[in-house]
Amino acid sequence: MWLIDSSIGRKLIMSITGVLLVLFLLFHSIMNFVSILSPYAYDVICAFLGANWYAIIGTMGLAAGFIIHILYALILSYQNLRARGNNRYAVKVRQKGVSWASLNMLVLGIIILGFMGLHLFQFWSKMQLIELMHNMGAATDAQLTALAAKGSHWVQYYFGQPIYSVLYIVWLSALWFHLTHGVWSMLHTLGINNQTWLPRLKTFSYILATIIILLFMAVPICGLLKAGPLFSPESMYNPFLNI
């Protein structure tokens, strides 16, 4: 099958999964930004996207797309290394017009993947997973179950700690570089690649990546500054709560 066997087919799959992941990031960034404006509204969204059947299907589809994207990225990177042979060890001057991000997509992807593990542990495992386990009759901690749909609590708890806010800002910076090249590359692969649109695609990639990352970064920045309704003293989490 050419989608699997050919380089073009693999790049097409990478692009399609990339589009889905970028759309998710855009939605997730807007949702996170809501948390610093109205913790209550954010909790309503979290409850709507809990362990409901549509949310579970969406999570499974997203996980599948993410795994496929990673696998094909590794396959394409390996093929590129093989094609270059011994030349890959040669010191080369970066060509004009070739971005730093395009030459380091695999490294950026590995950094992003590592932080994804942290993010899933801090939020998904304490929210949708706990709620899903509870609905299936599995034994869950009563306190964690009560907080499963209260996303504002976990945002306050983690981003109220400077170390996590700084780590997420570093992670999001890597994600910005990954997106600036990734968005342009996937649209190029999907056929928007004439000389008129190429410069526009690059500009669009930078604008979209910057919007997504700024929306995400607003949360850890507010956590560092203790600014906004989410991090106001009267709404902050109880530091003595056993979680």
Give me the CATH code for the 2-84+99-231 domain, please.
Answer: 1.20.1300
DSSP 10-50: HHHHHHHHHHHHHHHHHHHHHHHHHHHH-HHHHHHHHHHTS
Domain ranges of the chain: 2-84+99-231
The CA distance from 203 to 175, in Å, is: 17
User: Angle, nearest 10°, between helix axes 128-135 and 53-84?
Assistant: 130
Per-residue pLDDT tens over the stretch 58-91? 999 999 999 988 888 888 777 777 766 555 444 4
Q: Is 90 helix (H, G, I), strand (E, B) or coil?
A: coil
Question: What whole-number percentage of the chain has pLDDT above 90?
Answer: 42
Cβ-contact 104, 35 below 8 angstroms: no
Per-residue pLDDT tens over the stretch 196-217? 777 788 889 999 999 999 999 9
